Amino acid sequence: MLSLLVMSACSSTTGQTNTPNPSATPTPVPAATQTGSITYNMPSIADIVEEIEPAVVFISVEYVDTSFFFQTVSTKSGSGVILSPDGYILTNNHVVADARSINVVLPGDENTYTAQIIGTDSLSDLAVIKIEGENFPTAGFGDTSGLRVGDWVIAMGNALGLEGGPSVTLGIVSNLDRSFNIDNSAYYDIIQTDAAINPGNSGGPLVDLEGKVIGINTFIVTSAQNIGFAVSAHTARRVYEDLIQYAQVNRPYLGAGLQTITPAVASELGLSRDKGVLVSQIVADGPAAKAGMKTNDIIVTFQGQAVSEASQLIKLLWEYSAGDTVTLSYWRGETQDTVSITLAEWPEQS
């Protein structure tokens, strides 16, 4: 698990909201750049931006900021992406958390819409809000199964709440399947990108060159440069659909803490294997405990598929529901065993 000094890409102010002017247009990337005798072909993203920009909204949230001595009414701003013509918007949970009121502005639309929260999920830091109306411009989810490190991506959102509509930045996928914990959120399906993500970008889409949403921009590492993170559409789609249908995310519960094993972790803990998924914690009376699993067991397969990272296992696990029975193969010391576990409902739904 990574330990990061991070900052949510949510812009905060006190007593004032910056409403964007949607008239500005992004600067396209040159089609080609020549260095010496080598010509590098660069993607022009103007058409993609023109297609997606109408669905990227500015979100202004009024909330009560409580200190030891008094309370202050403050505002914070972020972004969101409209995913249905009747006004369902996916954003980050930290953008709308503790909201007293939520206002939404669309690029090119002079109206300010009042939004209501449909559901939030603190574990993935995602939320769905809704504005009333019909025939809103929309974006669609993309398929992340073929996404590769080095693919071009576009980050869109209302950086710093600046006037002029969504900001557009271009970068690449720097890494995939990052996993770490921050506060109450467990991030296991994260895309790392060097496309600039700034405060105010939270909840905006990370888009591929087909104009599809492949992530939701969420936070940046403040102690580094060009390291931003987005929740993958693989997870975001599931969360979005569950929040609309159930107002909560119905994810299965294994009852075990999971950690990717590295040679350093194996050496430190004296493990028999230096590859696999470590059971770092067992919850008493949880599904894994009832099946006989113990701390320091090393999971190597899930439903017959080899697993070597916690993020990989959890993504596979989330394809199932409470009540389903799954099979794990694991090492305990020098002995390998297989166990069937009946998944339970997550005990703390957000």
- Burial tier of 241 (Cβ tally within 10 Å: 0-12, 13-18, 19+): middle
337 is catalytic: no
* Choice among 8, 77, 121, 125 that is catalytic: 125
To the nearest 5 percent, what fractions of the chain are helix, strand and coil? 15, 45, 40
* Choice among 8, 11, 94, 232 that is catalytic: 94
234 is catalytic: no
Question: How far is residue 316 CA from its own chain's centroid?
Answer: 17
| Among the listed residues 323, 331, 316, the one whose alpha carbon sits nearest the alpha carbon of residue 287 | 323
Q: Can you tell me the distance from the alpha carbon of 286 to that of 172, in angstroms, rounded to the nearest whole number?
A: 40
**263 SS3 class:** helix
| Opening angle at CA 299, ends 297 and 301, nearest 5 | 155
* Choice among 8, 77, 202, 311 that is catalytic: 202
Contact 138, 55 (CB under 8 A): yes
Question: How far is residue 169 CA from its own chain's centroid?
Answer: 18
Q: Which residues are the active-site residues?
A: 94, 125, 202
